[in-house]
Structure 1
Amino acid sequence: MPRTRLPHDAKAGPTKPEVRAVLRDKLALGPDDHFVEVGSCTGAVTADAARDAGRVTALERHADRADVTRKNLAANGLEDAVTVRTAEAPDGLPDDADALFLGGSRNYEGVLDHAVETGVDRVVMNVSRLEVAGAAVEAFRERDLLDEVVQFQVSHGYELAGATSFDSDNPVYMLGGGTDDEDAEETA
């Protein structure tokens, strides 16, 4: 798979490649899926998803960051594969998403409510702040969305005095789950 290029800066760091690899596995996107990213920023996750999903929508509340998303998608030859919307979630979210990723924590409860109301199959949220992670876990639980919480940290090696030392990135808490339409259909 081609490496995602991000030549344009959004003044907010992209989701790290190692985190995106785990995210891709958790989302398990296929050609029939409609993937939605809330808070696309650099477009890194959106670009990866555009290689797997049949339809992709990126939502970004900052117009300048939505432009960066578009530019980075174009740098990867994916500008025609994604619909980029400038809106604040949950406004602007489509009603037919199969998979949804929250790259930020702003208005996440409204986004989760939308996911429940529209029956989103897979919902994943990345969080780097401990207090937000705890509140988000509760929000997922309250909506019966939580299947798992994964915490991981990536460190990158560098040379120090002729040996290898490591700089670590902030830990990431990945919350995952979704609605279970099969149970709802059985009880209906």
Structure 2
Amino acid sequence: MPPIALPHDAKAGPTKSEVRAVVHSKLALEADDHFAEVGSCTGAITIEAAQRAGRVTALERKPERLETTEKNLAANEGSITADIELRNAEAPDGLPDDADALFLGGSRNFEAVLDHAVATEIDRVIMNVSRLEVAGKATEAFRERDILEEVVQFQVSHGYELAGATSFHSDNPVYMLVGSATPDEAAAADDSKTRGSR
């Protein structure tokens, strides 16, 4: 897939392309999926999800950032196949009840967003965090809800020329929490057998 265009800036900056590649690898979106995003900002994740999923619902609490999402979506409309709905809302308000996959790009109200994910049994839940303290709290929140599958920490560095050689600028490390709020069918079947044998 060709790189997406992000001609409009939301000041917070987009999720880096290398990080987006990992996000979408973990989300494994398919044409019949409904993808939801909390904190669309520049729309980078939204746009790439809209190239893969059938439906996309993107929430952004700041109207000016939602406008940036809209402009960047328009700049990529030729490559977008999904039905997209943008909502000016602060999650968990505005989240759909039928999402298959969820990405949290911000840390505000993440516990309530995870509660929504559990209540609506969202199959794939990913949260990116750049601050260590928030990463710890988010990891505990995923564990408390029994939805944590893995935590990935990675850092990307980009080369630049320095005195005729290559040196590197490092981007902030990213902590990625990956989980699922879909009940484990095998465990549910075992529980059912156990209850039936009492």
Fold shared per TM-score above 0.5: yes
State the 1:13 CA deviation.
1.1
Instruction: Write the distance in 1 (CA, Å) between the matches of 2:133 and 2:82.
Output: 38
In the alignment of these two chains, the number of paired residues is 188
Residue 7 of structure 1: aligned partner: 7
Instruction: Write the distance in 2 (CA, Å) between the matches of 1:98 and 1:110.
Output: 18
Instruction: Write the distance in 1 (CA, Å) between the matches of 2:87 and 2:59.
Output: 5
- TM-score norm. by structure 2 comes to 0.92
Residue 121 of structure 1: aligned partner: 123
Tell me which stretches of 4 or more aligned residues in structure 1 moved more than 2 Å.
78-81, 180-188
State the 1:185 CA deviation.
5.2
Residue 27 of structure 1: aligned partner: 27
Task: Indicate if the aligned counterparts of 1:43 and 1:68 stay in contact, CA closer than 8 A.
Answer: yes
Q: For residues 112-153 of structure 1, what are the alpha-carbon distances to aligned partners after superposition, in whole Å with 9 as ceiling and x for unaligned? A: 000000000000000000000000000000001100000000
C-alpha RMSD of matched pairs (Å): 1.4
State the 1:2 CA deviation.
1.9
**Identical pairs, percent:** 72
Unaligned 5+ segments in structure 2 are 193-198
Task: Indicate if the aligned counterparts of 1:140 and 1:146 stay in contact, CA closer than 8 A.
Answer: yes
State the 1:32 CA deviation.
1.1
Instruction: Write the distance in 1 (CA, Å) between the matches of 2:82 and 2:117.
Output: 25
Task: Indicate if the aligned counterparts of 1:73 and 1:79 stay in contact, CA closer than 8 A.
Answer: no
SS of residue matched to 2:52: coil
Task: Indicate if the aligned counterparts of 2:118 and 2:182 stay in contact, CA closer than 8 A.
Answer: no
SS of residue matched to 2:67: helix
- TM-score norm. by structure 1 comes to 0.96
Unaligned 5+ segments in structure 1 are none
Deviates more, 1:128-137 or 1:71-80: 71-80
Instruction: Write the distance in 2 (CA, Å) between the matches of 1:32 and 1:122.
Output: 14
Instruction: Write the distance in 2 (CA, Å) between the matches of 1:37 and 1:63.
Output: 15
Instruction: Write the distance in 2 (CA, Å) between the matches of 1:116 and 1:141.
Output: 12
Aligned residue runs from structure 1 range 1-188, under 5 A = 1-77=1-77, 78=80, 81-183=83-185, 186=189, 187=191
Instruction: Write the distance in 2 (CA, Å) between the matches of 1:80 and 1:20.
Output: 18
